Amino acid sequence: MTAIDSNEVRQMFCAVSRRMIDMEPYLTEIDNRVGDGDHGIGMKIGFLQVEKVLSAGRYDTVNQVFREIGYTLLKVMGGASGVLFGTMFVSGLVGMEEKKQFTMEDFACLFQKSAEALTRRGKAGIGDKTMMDALIPAAGAMKEALDLPLEEGFQKVAKAAEAGMEYTKECVAAFGRARYYKDKAKGFQDAGATSVYLIFQTMADWIVGHAEKHREETV
């Protein structure tokens, strides 16, 4: 599978929304260790609304789906997480042609621009124990997977995001409440990076399952 259309992307992010909602206790537990303890609740609130609007919506372009997700998160989540995760979905759309289908190149372009925008906004990079530790490697993996089928490419993206999430256990936080823990925060993964990983892992799982279903229907 080399591309997915706006309805498929809508379905994929309905699955992502359900995963994020279900993972609220896990994200809360992680954030309670060295954070404010509200990350899981915020993500649940945001993606409950995303699931609601996507389930009822119809979109002509993939860009519209991403725009809906980003603005919904910005509107309902509040706080730093709402701004950061909303920006993750909308900032990469700036200057991008409206498209009815997205290839890996389109996903790579969007998330690379989003990572750059978030770096400019928050000044965080690799090693600062934030969501960027997962997002930057994931965006990089997309650029390296341009010639692969979506299902294979996104499995690599998810692995890159997971490795970034795991790397945060080694880091001393530079932002948020976790920075006050200094070296005591080592050994604990960042909640934001965990959410980024869960998003990309669920995208990969959905794409793989969708591709397998499509192959079975065409045999």
**Domain extents for the chain?**
3-212
* Angstrom distance (rounded) from CA 97 to CA 113: 14
Phi and psi at residue 4, to the nearest 5° = -130, 145
| This prediction's pTM | 0.94
Q: In this predicted model, what pLDDT tens digit does every residue of 63-116 receive, in sequence order? A: 999 999 999 999 999 788 999 999 999 999 999 999 999 999 999 999 999 999
Decide: residue 69, CB within 10 A, 0-12 exposed, 13-18 middle, 19+ buried: buried
| Residues constituting the chain | 219
pLDDT given at position 79: 81
Q: What angle do CA 171, 84, 155 make, to 5 degrees?
A: 70
What's the pLDDT band for 177 if we cut at 50, 70, 90? Answer: low
CATH code given to domain 3-212: 1.25.40.340
H helix runs in 77-184, sequence order: 79-90, 104-122, 132-143, 150-167
